[in-house]
């Protein structure tokens, strides 16, 4: 038993050494970002489409308070509970001192200004497909938001998940995969793809996860149980969600299902964001969802 | 006005009766649970009429819209605390999606009902004027429904 333990330790150390190299944080390709200037009004659109407020506003914030990004909401996962940080423009407690490049690295590759990996509770796997110009606009907008001096709460995650470096390995498996629907048939579907796969990060809830918490791209948007607690995320593929495109768009605007029940659960906050988008965006999201493969060919 | 309200109340009772007939609650609080679910069904029914027009599935009919908005408004004034007895939550009994949190934060639940009444009052003002006003006023109603379902109703 002892010997086995020693071998295990040795193997572990070698793995660590290899891992140390493989898991080093690498910055995103930010070519062209320098030349871009941020447009505040467009940034507000990116902010709504990407749903930043749903996670970074204070717990139970409503109305105007949704724009005070003090952080503090908890996100339970099988690996522990993560707490969203303060991302208001406070230089001390938020991201007031961040450059556009800092924000781009955080959103595109999940890396902090001092080079640490972020946990994927921050949905950078989805945001990795965001356009640089949109991030520049978002940065400009976020710097206009109210300052909060709320200190960050540390995550409640046990060993080994508490080691951020280990996330590098997870990223090797899950990051940088690009689009799921590679060839959108129309411009509208392409717009919908951008809103769903990248900014809207809809798959973070509506796509089932593998044992390591990665999105199962082969079962894209097919729903599944909530990872912690009761309930489930409904499937959005057309064979299972039989709503018309108009029904989907209307739901994203008002929260009303086709039988005029109203949305509940985590979707309520998503709808707070999608209801602020222009109608063309909601129509594009619906058009994209209507074209999703339902897996009947491979099952 | 009084006449209209009376009529609405009659319509509500009739629809309520229908809803009562097909709910599945059983046990000590079955009646109360059915009654409160019936109130929700009345909301959905009237919103279906208004929403059908807002979505463009039905032609805009200002009279029918005004009537549905009126019914909805009346339904939000039905206050039946007796239908929310302690112990009728989904942890304690079957056939309900009401979460125990309702009884821990009863005041907040009241505030959320009040928010719905406010949004519905606006809808009541505008539903009968024209389609665009109806469309604009229905969104906040949906938001008010969702704001209460999120913390207080269990997922299916």
Domains of chain B: 2-152 (1.20.120.10)
Round the CA-based radius of gyration of chain A to a whole number and report it: 20
pLDDT computed for residue B6 by the predictor: 43
- Say what the pTM is: 0.90
Query: Is B139 a residue whose pLDDT tops 60?
Result: yes
- CB spacing of A255 vs B143 below 8 angstroms: yes
Does residue B111 carry a pLDDT above 50? yes
From chain A, the residues in CB contact with B75 under 8 A are none
- Minimum mean pLDDT among A19-28, A172-181, B44-53, B58-67: which range? A19-28
Contact criterion met (CB < 8 Å) for A262 and B138: no
Interchain proximity B55–A260, CB inside 8 Å? no
Taking a C-beta distance cutoff of 8 angstroms, is the pair B1, B66 a contact? no
Looking at CA atoms only, how far is residue A255 from chain B in angstroms?
6
pLDDT at A144: 98
CA-to-CA distance for A261 and B111, rounded, in angstroms? 20
- pLDDT band for B2, please (50, 70, 90 cuts): very low
* Confidence grade of residue B19 (pLDDT, cut at 50, 70, 90): very low
Hey, are the CB atoms on B55 and A263 less than 8 Å from each other?
no
Q: Record the tokens describing residue A176, joined without a space.
A: 């940088």
Nearest to A262 among B56, B149, B155 (CB): B149
Using CB atoms, pick whichever of A230, A259, A268 lies closest to residue B149: A268
Write a three-state SS string for chain B: CHHHHHHHHHHHHHHHHHHHHCCCCCCCCHHHHHHHHHHHHHHHHHHHHHHHHHHCCCCCCHHHHHHHHHHHHHHHHCCCHHHCCCCCCCCCCCCCCECCHHHHCHHHHHHHHHHHHHHHHHHHHHCCCCHHHHHHHHHHHHHHHHHHHHHHECCC
Q: What is the mean pLDDT of chain B?
A: 86
- Quote the pLDDT of residue A160: 86
Average pLDDT over residues B5-34: 59
Q: What is the pLDDT of residue A5?
A: 65
CA distance B107 to B113: 10
* pLDDT for the residue numbered A4: 63
Which chain B residues contact residue A272 at CB under 8 A? 143
| Mean per-residue pLDDT pooled into runs of 10, chain A (299 residues) | 64 66 84 95 98 96 94 94 98 97 97 96 97 98 98 93 89 93 97 98 96 93 88 94 96 96 92 97 98 72
Total Cβ atoms within 10 A of residue A133:
16
The candidate with the shortest Cα–Cα distance to A224, out of A243, A242, A237, A205, is: A205
Going from the C-alpha of A46 to that of each of A35, A52, A194, A206, the distances in angstroms are: 19, 9, 11, 21
- Looking at residue A10, its pLDDT comes to 66
- Residues A288, A159: Cα–Cα separation, whole Å: 40
Nearest residue on chain B to A234, alpha-carbon basis: B156
- Chain A residues within 8 Å of chain B (Cβ atoms): 62, 230-232, 246-247, 250, 253-256, 259-266, 268-269, 271-272, 275
Tell me which residue in A247, A255, A266 faces B142 most closely, judged by beta carbons: A255
| Chain A residues lying within 8 Å of B145, measured CB to CB | 255, 262
Distance from CA of A246 to the nearest CA of B (A): 8
Q: Shortest CB distance from A260 goes to which of B51, B154, B155?
A: B51
Kindly tell me if the per-residue pLDDT of B21 is higher than 70.
no
Q: Which is higher by pLDDT, B28 or A150?
A: A150
Are B145 and A259 inside 8 Å of each other by CB? no
CB contact under 8 Å between B47 and A253, yes or no, is: no
């Amino acid at each position: 038993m002892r010997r086995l333990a020693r071998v295990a330790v040795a193997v572990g150390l070698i793995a660590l050494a290899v891992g140390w190299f493989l898991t080093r944080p690498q910055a995103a390709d930010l070519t062209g970002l320098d030349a871009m200037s941020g447009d505040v009004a467009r940034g507000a659109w990116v902010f709504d489409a990407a749903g930043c407020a749903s996670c970074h506003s204070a717990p139970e914030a409503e109305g105007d308070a949704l724009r005070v990004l003090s952080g503090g909401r908890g996100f339970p996962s099988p690996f522990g509970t993560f707490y969203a940080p303060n991302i208001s423009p406070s230089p001390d407690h938020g991201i007031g001192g961040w450059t556009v490049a800092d924000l781009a690295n955080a959103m595109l590759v999940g890396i902090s200004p001092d080079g640490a990996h972020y946990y994927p509770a921050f949905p950078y796997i989805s945001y990795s497909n965001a356009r640089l110009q949109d991030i520049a606009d978002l940065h400009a907008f976020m710097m206009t938001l109210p300052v909060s001096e709320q200190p960050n709460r540390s995550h409640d995650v046990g060993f080994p998940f508490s080691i951020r470096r280990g996330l590098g390995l997870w990223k090797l498996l899950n990051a940088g995969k690009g689009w799921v629907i590679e060839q959108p048939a129309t411009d509208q579907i392409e717009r919908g793809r951008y809103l769903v796969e990248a900014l809207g990060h809809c798959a973070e809830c509506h796509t089932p996860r593998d044992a390591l918490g990665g999105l199962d791209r082969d079962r894209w948007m097919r729903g599944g149980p909530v990872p912690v607690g009761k309930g489930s995320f409904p499937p959005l593929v057309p064979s299972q969600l039989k709503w018309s495109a108009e029904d989907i768009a209307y739901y994203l605007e008002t929260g009303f299902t086709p039988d005029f029940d109203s949305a509940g659960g985590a979707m309520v906050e998503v709808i707070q964001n999608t209801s602020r988008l222009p109608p063309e965006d909601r129509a594009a999201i619906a058009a994209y969802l209507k074209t999703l493969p339902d897996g009947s060919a491979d099952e | 006005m009084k006449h209209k309200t009376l009529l609405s109340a009659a319509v509500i009772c009739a629809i309520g009766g229908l809803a009562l007939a097909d709910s599945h609650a059983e046990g000590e609080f079955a009646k109360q649970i059915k009654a409160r679910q019936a109130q929700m069904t009345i909301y959905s029914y009237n919103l279906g009429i208004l929403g059908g027009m807002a979505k463009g599935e039905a032609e805009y009919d200002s009279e029918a819209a005004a009537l549905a908005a009126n019914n909805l408004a009346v339904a939000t004034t039905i206050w039946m605390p007796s239908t929310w007895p302690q112990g009728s939550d989904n942890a304690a009994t079957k056939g309900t999606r009401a979460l125990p949190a309702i009884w821990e934060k009863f005041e907040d639940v009241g505030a959320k009902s009040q928010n719905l009444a406010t949004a519905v009052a606006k809808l009541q003002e505008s539903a009968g004027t024209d389609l665009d006003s109806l469309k604009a006023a229905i969104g906040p109603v949906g938001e008010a429904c969702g704001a209460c379902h999120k913390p207080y109703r269990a997922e299916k």
